[in-house]
Amino acid sequence: MASIGKIARRTFLLGAAAVAGGVAVGYWYVSRPYENPLEGEVAKGEATFNPYVKIASDDTITVIAPRAEMGQGVATTLAAFVAEELDVTLDRIKVEHGPASYAYYNAEMLAESGPFNFFDDSFLAEMTRSALGTVGKVLGLQGTGGSTSARDGFEKMRQAGAATRAVLMQAAAARLSLPVAELATENGRIVHARSGRSVSYGEVALDAASIAPPKSVTLRDKKDWKLLGKTQQRVDMHDKVTGAPIFGIDVRLPDMLYATVLISPVFGAKPVKADTSKAEKMSGVIKIVPLETVYGSGFGVIAKNTWAAFKGAEALDVEWGKPVNPADTDGLMQVIADAATKGEGDVMRNDGDVETAFADAPQAQLIEAEYRVPYLSHAPMEPMNCTAQLKDGHLTVWAPNQMPTLIRWLCADLAGVPLEQTTVHTTYMGGAFGRRGEIDYALYATLIAKEADGHPVKVTWTREEDMQHDCYRSAFIARMRARLGDDGLPQALDLRVAGQSMMASLVGRIFPGRSAPGPDNTTTDGSHNQPYTIPNYRVTGIKAPLTLPVSFWRSVGNSQNGFFHESAMDEIAHAGKTDPIELRRKLMREFPAAVAVVDKVAAMSNWGEKLPEGKAKGFAFVLSFGSWCAQVVQIAQTPGGIKLEKMWIAVDVGTALDPGIIEQQMVSGAIFGLSAAMNQKITFADGRVEQSNFHDFDAMRIFQAPQFEVAILENYHRMGGVGEVGTPPAAPALANAVFALTGKRVRSLPLSDEVVFA
Say yes or no to pLDDT of 451 above 80: yes
Q: Indicate the CATH number of 33-106+141-232 among 3.40.1010.10, 3.10.20.740, 3.30.365.10, 3.40.1260.10.
A: 3.30.365.10
| Spatial distance between the Cα atoms of 462 and 122, rounded to a whole number of angstroms | 50
329-376+472-753 belongs to CATH 3.30.365.10: yes
With a CB cutoff of 8 Å and minimum separation 6, the contacts of 612 are: none
> How large a percentage of the chain has pLDDT more than 90?
92
Choice among 10-14, 89-93, 692-696 with the minimum mean pLDDT: 10-14
For residue 8, give the 3-state DSSP assignment: coil
- Give 652's strand partners: 628, 713
Q: What mean pLDDT value characterizes the chain?
A: 95
pLDDT score for 30: 55
Is the pTM higher than 0.75? Answer: yes
> Average pLDDT of 627-631?
99
The confidence band for 40, taking pLDDT boundaries of 50, 70 and 90, is confident
> Average pLDDT of 638-665?
98
The confidence band for 714, taking pLDDT boundaries of 50, 70 and 90, is very high
pLDDT tens, position by position, 109-166: 989 888 888 999 999 999 999 999 998 899 899 999 999 999 999 999 999 999 999 9
Domain locations in the chain as residue ranges: 33-106+141-232, 248-323+384-460, 329-376+472-753
**Closest alpha carbon to 15 in 139, 176, 168, 123:** 123
> Average pLDDT of 515-536?
94
> Average pLDDT of 640-649?
99
pLDDT score for 625: 97
pLDDT tens, position by position, 78-115: 999 999 999 999 999 999 999 999 999 999 998 988 88
Report residue 696 CA to chain centroid gap: 24
**Closest alpha carbon to 183 in 208, 155, 215, 156:** 208
pLDDT tens, position by position, 274-310: 999 999 999 999 999 999 999 999 999 999 999 999 9
Report residue 610 CA to chain centroid gap: 39
| Spatial distance between the Cα atoms of 436 and 552, rounded to a whole number of angstroms | 9
The confidence band for 3, taking pLDDT boundaries of 50, 70 and 90, is very low
Taking each helix axis from N to C end, the angle separating 557-575 and 730-742, rounded to the nearest 10 degrees, works out to 30
H helices within 450-556, ranges in order?
463-468, 502-510
Strands 297-303 and 285-292: antiparallel
| Spatial distance between the Cα atoms of 715 and 343, rounded to a whole number of angstroms | 40
Taking each helix axis from N to C end, the angle separating 123-139 and 9-25, rounded to the nearest 10 degrees, works out to 50
- Equal CATH topology for 248-323+384-460 and 329-376+472-753: yes
Choice among 133-137, 178-182, 484-488 with the minimum mean pLDDT: 133-137
| Spatial distance between the Cα atoms of 328 and 724, rounded to a whole number of angstroms | 31
> Average pLDDT of 699-717?
98
H helices within 365-454, ranges in order?
404-415, 440-449
Cα separations in angstroms, 445 against 91, 410, 441: 36, 12, 6
DSSP annotation of 114 reads: S
pLDDT score for 6: 41
Say yes or no to pLDDT of 51 above 70: yes
- Give 460's strand partners: 385
Q: Measured on CA atoms in the order 732, 735, 741, 744, is the torsion positive or negative? A: negative
pLDDT score for 513: 85
Phi, psi of 163 (to 5 degrees): -65, -40
Taking each helix axis from N to C end, the angle separating 201-209 and 149-176, rounded to the nearest 10 degrees, works out to 100
With a CB cutoff of 8 Å and minimum separation 6, the contacts of 45 are: 56, 57, 58, 206
DSSP annotation of 83 reads: H
Say if CB 643 and CB 636 are below 8 A apart: yes
Say yes or no to pLDDT of 32 above 60: yes
> How large a percentage of the chain has pLDDT more than 70?
96
pLDDT score for 31: 61
Q: Which CATH class is domain 248-323+384-460?
A: alpha beta
Greater pLDDT, 294 or 7: 294
| Spatial distance between the Cα atoms of 349 and 539, rounded to a whole number of angstroms | 5
pLDDT score for 731: 99
> Average pLDDT of 46-70?
97
**Closest alpha carbon to 758 in 703, 697, 695, 698:** 703
